[in-house]
A and B are shown apart, each in its own frame.
Chain A
Amino acid sequence: MSRPHLETHLRAKVASGGKLLVPYLMAGQSDDWLDTVQALAEAGADAIEIGLPFSDPIMDGPVIQQAAVVALERGTTPESALRELATLDLDIPLVVMTYYNLIFRAGHDRFAGRLAEVGVSGCILPDLSLEEMDDWGRAASAAGVDTVLLVAPSTSVERAQMICDRSRGFLYAVGRMGVTGERAEISHQVAEVVEKVKPLTTLPVCVGVGVSNPAQAAQVTGLADGAVVGSALVRRLLEGAGPEGAASFIASLRHAIDQRG
């Protein structure tokens, strides 16, 4: 399992003039979710975010909530998801996205160690604030796992600087004030938040929350280094798109992004 490391991989791609595409799916949301991960990698993803289902996902809208319900009903646990991920043969990095209680319950060192063992090199915990992340941050860096932090439209420049300094892997720019979900239009807040953080960091900046289709992905990567696409993909998977449908959707985003570049 010599998957490339998250930050190294993404920085290299951006340095070579490329734009980043990071799809998200929920671990265990269907029987063939592992095949889907593989298919996304082949369709042009630069990294893949794997959601570990949590019972109370306060940063997620109805689509990802539904995926979590399905995954939990299928018996998915953090450990079962990680065990399955370990079996994948991928040449792009994986990032886990979940809520802090699952990590706190497992124990910081144990969880960080497990991520490293199964070849996950990044972690996003939206409800772990900058103020409360010290213990996890120590365990994650000791295990060589990047903790990706969020900056929001509401974040002040001073806070954004502190967040940029602590973030690893990439910087997750929340593209609008709201929870995950598809939106008809890209918010004007995307440009504002990207302009706010760009002078503060050399990390790749990826915009997530609300990026729903190829045109929007192209629009967002015109401003930032990359796009995270969650609900639009997860909805298709919930509707039964399967690995092939997922791959063709991600390929369409890839094409739109590269076309523009």
Chain B
Amino acid sequence: MTAPTQSMGNPSSEGWFGDFGGRFVPEPLMPACLELEAAFTDAWADPAFHAEFESVLSSFGGRPTPVSECLRLSEELGIRLLLKREDLAHTGSHKINNVIGQALLTKRMGKTKMIAETGAGQHGVASATAAALLGLECTVYMGEVDTKRQALNVFRMELLGAKVHPVTSGSRTLKDAVNEAMRTWVAEVDDTHYCLGSVMGPHPFPWMVREFQSILGREARGQCEKILGDVPDYVVACVGGGSNAAGIFSGFANSRAQLIGVEALGGAAIASGIPGVLHGMMSQLLQDEAGQINEAHSISAGLDYPGIGPEHAHLAATGRATYATAGDDEVLDALQRLSRTEGIIPALEPAHALAWIINEAGRAIPTGSTVLLNMSGRGDKDVAQVREILQAKGLYQ
């Protein structure tokens, strides 16, 4: 099986990746999107900005993160499984890469405040962290349902000096947190940057966030070449909005590696979505006949999103990447299995990617394949929820 290779290039000048992307925002926000695009383009062409970005990520963010071999699980599955250890980055997930980039950019634009949305709380914690580091004010919008599911992350954000604003509109989850952050951005755009947490939203966010996350893909490519002497046969990542997947895919898109994104079964924008416009972008969306957006449902707050970043919709359309799903039960199994066999408690989000690998090893993934999984975050934030679920199922006393 050979995958088509294709590098993940820049979007068109209006922010399109093929038929997806663009900039669908109310006029009051258009000037801010244009300003941000200009500021990012300028910064990203500036070696001094790259140097600062990389230096903060190494001295503060814990980069580079290692690639670990899963010896015991590999043997059980009959494949060679490697993990890119974003769980070891500061704040416990890949989200730190993006927020350091955007916080530095916020300062470069002369803004003093950041707002952010969060689902699981990881992006909120990362944003609060970057804001504390760089002396920015930070407010995080979080669906009320998620503030309950992830109460400890609310406390973490507050410890870090951020304000957490519970969102009570709509489904009270990630999608509504994005709505509320956008509404606030309209009113406060003068001195406020909206630090979006994934490769979604209006141009330039999907492109910019991918670029900030591409650092993990570049590292992983070099690390795989050292360990395997080659690229892996499969590169697998979970997909909520798609930032950790975009980061790791970008390191391998021009290689023969097969790229697999794994969505939550109840939030599968590629498998069950229809093209449409939400949160400033054209992408694949869960929606009804009339175009009302449906709520996503998953055990993982970080994947409870009815859309997907536009570049993923494009990669799916061209066939360069393939998108699969994992359901709640197999995700719980995968989480426990990795914990026991490798001593790594994964977050629920990357446990989706692992669940797919476990299911498909020896099936869609031929025995003997090399597989790189992006371990996008650690499970600390999820252990209380997982314990409750296991207790409720009678699987833990």
Tell me if B332 counts as interface (CB < 8 A to partner A). Answer: no
Of the candidates A54, A100, A174, the one whose C-beta lies within 8 Å of that of B27 is A174
- What is the interface of chain A, defined by CB distance below 8 A to chain B? 54-62, 65, 69, 72, 77-79, 99-106, 126-132, 149-156, 159, 163, 174, 177-179
Taking a contact as CB atoms closer than 8 A, the residue among A56, A61, A72, A159 that contacts B31 in the complex is A159
B175 within 8 A of A: yes
A131 near B290: Cβ-Cβ < 8 Å: no
- Please determine whether B187 and A56 come into contact, CB atoms closer than 8 angstroms: no
Which residues of the other chain, A, contact B179 by a CB distance below 8 angstroms?
56-58
B176 CB contacts on chain A under 8 angstroms: 56
A62→B170 CA distance, assembly (Å) = 11
Q: A132-B22, A177-B189 are in contact. List 12 more A-B contacts (CB 8 A).
A: A55-B170, A58-B183, A60-B183, A72-B292, A78-B291, A101-B277, A101-B291, A127-B24, A152-B28, A154-B32, A177-B188, A178-B187
Choose one: B27, B190, B278; the contact of A129 (CB below 8 Å): B27
Set of chain B residues within 8 Å of A78, measured between Cβ atoms? 290-291
**Shortest CB–CB separation between residue A161 and chain B, in angstroms?**
13
Question: Does B25 belong to the interface (CB within 8 Å)?
Answer: yes
Whether a CB of chain A sits under 8 angstroms from the CB of B56 is no
CA distance A154 to B188 in the complex (A): 11
- Nearest Cβ distance between residue B337 and chain A, in whole angstroms? 37
Point out the residue from B29, B189, B190, B291 that lies within 8 Å of A106, measured CB to CB. B291
B277 touches A100 (CB 8 A): yes
Contacts of B327 in A (CB 8 A): none
A56 touching B170, Cβ below 8 Å: yes
Task: Decide yes or no whether B14 CB sits under 8 A from chain A.
Answer: yes
Measured between beta carbons, the chain B residues less than 8 angstroms from A132 are 14, 22-24
Task: Give the interface residue-count category, chain B.
Answer: 35 or more
**B183 near A149 (CB under 8 angstroms)?**
no
Q: Roughly how many angstroms separate A144 CA and B167 CA in the complex, as a whole number?
A: 40
Known A105-B287, A105-B291, A177-B187; judge A131-B22 contact (CB<8 A).
yes
A159 vs B22: C-alpha distance when bound (angstroms) = 18
Please give, as numbers and ranges, the residues of chain B lying within 8 Å of A177 by CB-CB distance.
28, 186-190
Q: What is the predominant secondary structure among interface residues of chain B facing chain A?
A: mixed
* Residues on the A chain within 8 Å of B27, using CB: 126, 129-130, 149-152, 154-155, 163, 174
Asked if residues B183 and A101 are in contact (CB atoms below 8 Å), the reply is no
Q: Which residue of B lies closest to A53 (CB)?
A: B292
Q: List 11 A-B contacts (CB under 8 A).
A: A56-B278, A56-B279, A58-B25, A62-B169, A101-B278, A129-B24, A149-B27, A152-B30, A154-B31, A178-B28, A179-B187
Q: In this assembly, does B231 line the interface, its C-beta being within 8 Å of a C-beta of chain A?
A: no
Please determine whether A179 and B186 come into contact, CB atoms closer than 8 angstroms.
Answer: yes
The total of Cβ contacts below 8 Å across the A-B interface reads: 122
Q: How far is the CB of B20 from chain A (nearest CB, A)?
A: 12
- Measured CA separation A56–B176 after assembly (Å): 8
Closest residue of chain A to B188 (Cβ to Cβ) is: A177
Give which listed residue, A56, A61, A129, A152, contacts B293 with CB less than 8 A.
Answer: A56
CB-CB under 8 A from A128, the residues of chain B are 24
Closest residue of chain A to B182 (Cβ to Cβ) is A58
What is the chain A residue whose CB lies nearest that of B180? Answer: A58
Residues of chain A contacted by B277 (CB below 8 angstroms) = 99-101, 104, 127
Hey, which chain A residues are within 8 Å of B291, CB to CB?
A: 54, 78, 101-106
Contact flags (1/0) for B259-285 with A, using CB distance below 8 Å?
A: 000000000000000111111101001
Distance of A129 Cα from B290 Cα, bound (Å): 21
**Would A129 and B23 count as touching, CB distance under 8 A?**
yes
In the bound complex, residues from chain A placing their C-beta under 8 Å from that of B293 are 55-56, 101
Q: Does B110 contact A (CB under 8 A)?
A: no
Given contacts A55-B293, A152-B27, A152-B28, contact A178 B22 (CB under 8 A): no
Interface residues of B in 1-50 (CB under 8 A from A): 14, 22-32
Known: A78-B290, A179-B187. A155 touches B30 (CB 8 A): yes
Which residues of chain A are near B188, meaning CB under 8 Å? 177
Residues of B contacting A54 in the complex (Cβ-Cβ under 8 angstroms):
291-292
**Separation of A79 and B31 alpha carbons in the complex (Å):** 34
**Contacting pair B183 A61 (CB below 8 A):** yes
Which A-chain residue is minimally distant from B15 (CB atoms)?
A131
Q: How far is the CA of A58 from the CA of B175 in the complex (A)?
A: 11
Roughly how many angstroms separate A102 CA and B287 CA in the complex, as a whole number?
10
Partner of A159, one of B30, B278, B279: B30
Q: In the complex the two chains form, is A59's CB within 8 Å of B23's CB?
A: no
Cβ contacts under 8 Å, A59 to chain B: 26, 183, 186
Please give the distance in Å from B355's CB to the nearest CB on chain A. Answer: 30
Q: Which residues of B contact A149 (CB under 8 A)?
A: 27
Whole-angstrom distance between the alpha carbons of A149 and B29 in the complex?
14
* Least CB distance, A110 to chain B, in whole angstroms: 12
**Residue in B28, B169, B175 whose Cβ sees the most chain A Cβ within 10 Å:** B28
Which A residues are CB-close (under 8 A) to B26? 58-59, 126-127, 150, 152
**Nearest Cβ distance between residue B265 and chain A, in whole angstroms?**
21
